[in-house]
Amino acid sequence: MLEQLGVFTKKYMFPLFIITAGVVLIIIGLIPSIIPVQVRNPTTGEIEEGVTIIMQTKDFLMGATAILIAGIITLLYTLEIISKLINTILLVLLFATTGFFAYKSYKSVKETIAQNDAKEDWDNSTKQALSDVRDVQLAYKKKYGFYASEYKELTRFLKEDKIMDVIIKGEIPDRRVTDEEGKILGYDKLKDEAKYNDIDEAEAVLLEIIEKDTLWYPVMEVLFTGELAKRTNEARLYPFEVDALGKIVDVPSVNKLTKGNKSRATKLAAINPPVYHMYTDTIREEEDLISHLYLYDPIPYDPFVKRDTLKVGSKTEPKTNGSWAEK
């Protein structure tokens, strides 16, 4: 009995293995992959968790089917239903077909990875560009009380204007207020015990540990080119160029994938000049003047799923946060 089982296993194990592999691959190809993504609720504007459903390509299914058929043919040959010559010819054809579809499936996966990387490049570059415009607009509003309505005015502001900035000389020590310093600050050792904790900025100024100078500095220096600005902007993706403010980013990885894409080229050509759309307004609510800023990418790149474009601010609310769950 065991000997017969061993013979049966040796004889039919390979074709049954191939058939099983083909069936498993077909099942994998038919079951969708569910990938979690972040999407913006069109009603509330809040970022919510969502899913993207991705199916295997037809090439993957065709290759899996070819493997299944190869297993069936091998089984038929083992059962001596078809001749060795027919078996060999059919297997060569099927394995060649399987190899062809495997290559196409690999190529498809490689292209999907490239598209995903390109989308990430596009989104990150767009976030940087929109954030730059937002930062300049905030500085403009701080000086003039409203947002600039044109990029031309923002460029002038960067090149020619000055804004007030506070320069701190010295460092605040990481320690408690001493008894002698407490006397200088007018603290009572018993009643004001809590005030003897870490020295804050106001206390450091009164104690002459640091100096604060409020002076007028060029906007470019404060926001982008000064030493403090450079340290703050160390995580920038690309150097800031004043004449490129507001212009739609040029991302090589996206250009490579969308070369010859007439639809995208037409959309870009229709944007004249090719800048991020910018809306500004000042609305009076009772005795208050409320300024609104709204920026968005008019040609978002998303090869996988249709989503809202990246945005900053709102037409209806006085906010300046980005739509990419930025805090």
Over range 38-56, report the average pLDDT: 56
Return d(Cα 146, Cα 138) in angstroms, integer. 9
Quick one: pLDDT band at residue 295, thresholds 50, 70, 90? Answer: very high
Report the range of poorest mean pLDDT among 37-41, 120-124, 261-265.
37-41
pLDDT tens for each residue of 214-227: 778 899 988 998 88
Report the half-sphere exposure of 78 (CA within 13 A, side-chain side).
16
pLDDT tens for each residue of 3-12: 555 555 666 7
Return d(Cα 130, Cα 247) in angstroms, integer. 10
Output 207 or 254, whichever has higher pLDDT.
254
Q: Tell me what pLDDT residue 69 has.
A: 83
Q: Tell me what pLDDT residue 1 has.
A: 53
Radius of gyration of the chain (CA): 33
- Residue in the structure block whose two tokens are 């300046």: 320
Angle, CA 265 vertex, CA 264 and CA 269 arms, to 5°: 120
Residue 319 pLDDT > 60: yes
The pTM for the full model equals 0.65
Helices (H), the chain: 2-30, 58-78, 84-144, 151-160, 179-185, 201-206, 219-220, 227-232, 252-257, 262-270
Contacts of 229 (CB under 8 A, 6+ apart): 221, 222, 223
Residue 34 pLDDT > 70: no
Q: Tell me what pLDDT residue 43 has.
A: 47
Q: Tell me what pLDDT residue 2 has.
A: 52
Determine how β-strand 311-313 pairs with β-strand 288-296: antiparallel
Q: Tell me what pLDDT residue 139 has.
A: 93
Over range 304-323, report the average pLDDT: 83
The helix/strand/coil state of 164 is strand
What average pLDDT does the chain have? 81
Residue 36 pLDDT > 70: no
Quick one: pLDDT band at residue 22, thresholds 50, 70, 90? Answer: confident
